[in-house]
Amino acid sequence: MATANDRAVLQTIFKPNTPFGDIPGLDEEEETGQEEEMAFAPELLGHAKDLELQGVSAAESGDLRTALESFALAIQILPERASGYNNRAQVLRLQGDVAGALEDLATALRLSRGRGRVACQAFVQRGLICRLQGCEEEAQRDWEQAARLGSAFASRQLVRMNPYAALCNQMLSEMMGKLQEPGVEREEPSQGGSPGGKCG
């Protein structure tokens, strides 16, 4: 059974207003996605989409085994469709199979040719895994790709990774506090470690 943290991550992956809720076209197919999906037989595509929806529903309720089975069946029906791999990767990671998740994300990125909402989701997801593994440069590269594809979540992560942006945000917050409460003395931020003292 999924932990509360796992359910929170699933919420992040499968629900709007989360890291993927800010991706343009998440709830409606993008034109490129429609063109690519037209290559699939409509009855097979419909069946694969239904299985993915069942997988998402199972994952949201904490039934990761059923979710994994649904995504695997969707992939079996349409092995050249990127979405199933992207969804299955999240469940694999939650089950502790990080290598399997990374393999599915690589497949999703290859099949989507690094474009569209599935690629954006896969870059965000892989960036999260890299960050959890302490691979900051790899996470940054993936989030840069996701940000280019329209993810505001990835853009925010990139800002947080930039120490100069973090210092600028801290200084701006303190200045705004002083403007809102004149006469209240606040401790000045440390100036050490900021070469040039410029905020971009």
- Domain count along the chain: 1
Domain that holds residue 35: 4-116
| Residue 174 and residue 189 in contact, taking contact as beta carbons nearer than 8 Å | yes
Does the residue 153 lie in any domain?
A: no
Does the residue 172 lie in any domain?
A: no
Token pair in block for residue 78: 């349409």
Does the residue 71 lie in any domain?
A: yes
**How far apart are the C-alpha atoms of 163 and 165, rounded to whole Å?**
5
Q: What's the gap between Cα 119 and its chain centre?
A: 10
CATH classification at residue 15:
1.25.40.10
Does the residue 30 lie in any domain?
A: yes
**How far apart are the C-alpha atoms of 28 and 185, rounded to whole Å?**
51
Tell me what pLDDT residue 16 has.
Answer: 38
Tell me what pLDDT residue 145 has.
Answer: 94
Tell me what pLDDT residue 174 has.
Answer: 78
Rounded to 5, what percent of the chain is helix, strand, coil?
70, 0, 30
Amino acid sitting at position 174: E
Q: Whole-model pTM?
A: 0.67
Token pair in block for residue 159: 């800002």
Does the residue 166 lie in any domain?
A: no
Tell me what pLDDT residue 24 has.
Answer: 39
Rounded average pLDDT per 10-residue block, the chain, 200 residues: 48 48 39 59 91 94 95 96 95 94 97 94 95 92 93 88 69 77 55 37
Does the residue 87 lie in any domain?
A: yes
Does the residue 18 lie in any domain?
A: yes
Does the residue 55 lie in any domain?
A: yes
| Residue 104 and residue 86 in contact, taking contact as beta carbons nearer than 8 Å | yes
Tell me what pLDDT residue 173 has.
Answer: 74
Token pair in block for residue 176: 């705004």
Token pair in block for residue 200: 């971009």
